[in-house]
Structure 1
Amino acid sequence: MSRVEPLQPPYDAETQTQFDAIMRGAPPLVLFRVLAAQPRAWRKFRNAALLDPGPLSLREREIVIDRTCALTGCEYEWGVHIAIFAKAAKLSDEEIRATVDGGADAACWSAAERVLIEAVDALHYTATLSEAEFGNLRASFSEAQILELMMLCGFYRTVSYIANGLDLPLETKGARFPR
């Protein structure tokens, strides 16, 4: 059970419409219900959403999100993203495992994907990028893509803090970390 009570149905019409738009008819995630119980937090969270088509491909976006969530030990959000997006992002079982147990040097990654993972790791551990790390990013990605990567890392670190800090129960359809 979450440390903070999630919003319970029936939801007001506006909240139901928001849930439907995000979840495409599926029941809302516990994370969304917890945040929606606090209108300001829910509004701020929705405004920072980065799941729309952006400068990174779906695959690149998911590698960044999955790695960020794995590094923060957030099985909740990692599992949701693997369950919902891994197939569409064409992530293999080996790549999914490598987001948790591997590093940028894992053989399953392309050269550009290695650069993404190196950047995610650097941001996680040092909150910055060295000149070499930024140069590596710049060789494969545009400025818009680099900013998107940094925003994704920050946003999903925040999501991980919320999910981990509130001890959200894992979603029944969510994937589990490899053991």
Structure 2
Amino acid sequence: MARLEPLSPPYDPAIAEALAQMPAELALFRTVAHNPRVLSRWRGGGLLDKGSVSLRQRELVILRTTARLGAEYEWGVHVAFFAGKAGFTADEVIATVHGDAAAWPAADEALLVALTDALVDTATVDDGLWTRAAAVFTPAQLIEITALVGFYHLVSFTVNVTGVAREPGAPGFPPPAI
């Protein structure tokens, strides 16, 4: 049950302008639109463009962050819109919720899961994990990975606190394997 209902048209002109520059059909953006200033900052701070990490790496970090923080809405949106484009198998999608770093045989992906988990759990990484990550990722990538976890922490807080309902066609968290 939504605690804060997404806005519906007709929108105030400032809100309409901001929503016109993002996927306004998504309930998340229409919910954040209750505060046009915050919505405009989200638009400017989005990290879904081509960055220093690959689409697959980016989506692994986002899926893992949102899963670990219980943000089923955002996890489901990213599964629906990006998991296929990023080449995730059904088992890999499940592993973003229920697997650990060992579920990812590629060294870079196991490191991404370990980095994400450490940041979600402790808001930092220890020296050993940093050294391993710095041997695989460039400084630009390490900053982007950290920013992705941080931004999707914010997104997770927002969807969890406001109770944004899942989008039509977006999956919920899978049950754990038996």
Q: TM-score, normalised by structure 1?
A: 0.92
Q: What's the CA shift for 1:125? A: 0.8
Q: Which AA in structure 2 matches 1:41?
A: V
- Give 1:173 shift: 1.8
For residue 154 of structure 2, what is the aligned residue in structure 1?
158
1:47 corresponds to: 44
1:128 partnered with 2:124: yes
1:5-84 superposed matches below 5 A: 5-12=5-12, 15-16=15-16, 18-23=18-23, 28-84=25-81
One-letter amino acid of the structure 2 residue matched with residue 120 of structure 1: T
Q: State the partner residue of 1:142.
A: 138
Structure 1 residue identity aligned to 2:132: N
Give the % identical residues.
42
In 1, the alpha carbon distance for the partners of 2:82 and 2:117 equals: 21
Give me the whole-angstrom Cα distance separating, in 1, the residues matched to 2:54 and 2:32.
28
Distance apart, 1:143 and its partner CA: 0.4
Are 2:26 and 2:167, in contact at CA under 8 Å, matched by a contact in 1? yes
Instruction: Return the alpha-carbon distance in structure 2 between the equivalents of residues 58 and 16 of structure 1.
Output: 29
Taking structure 1 as reference, are residues 127 and 176 closer, same or farther at Cα in structure 2, changes over 3 Å only?
Answer: same
Distance 1:30 1:7 in 2: 8
1:109 match: 105
Tell me if structure 2 keeps the 8 A contact 1:72–1:160.
yes
Residue among 149, 168, 171 paired with 2:164:
168
Equivalent position of 2:86 in the other structure: 89
* Unpaired segments ≥5 residues, structure 1: none
**TM-fit CA distance, 1:59:** 0.3
For residue 125 of structure 2, give the secondary structure of its aligned residue in structure 1: coil
Q: How far does residue 44 in structure 1 lie from its aligned partner after superposition? A: 1.8
Deviation, 1:148, is 0.4
TM-superposition CA deviations, 1:98-124 (whole Å, max 9, x none): 000000011x43111001100000111
SS for the counterpart of 1:140 is coil
Per-residue deviation, 1:16:
4.2
Number of equivalences: 175
SS at match of 1:53: coil
Aligned residues of 1:67 and 1:117 also touching (Cα < 8 A): yes
Q: CA shift at 1:21, angstroms?
A: 3.7
Q: 1:173 to 1:14 in 2, by over 3 A?
A: farther
Unpaired segments of 5 or more residues in structure 2? none
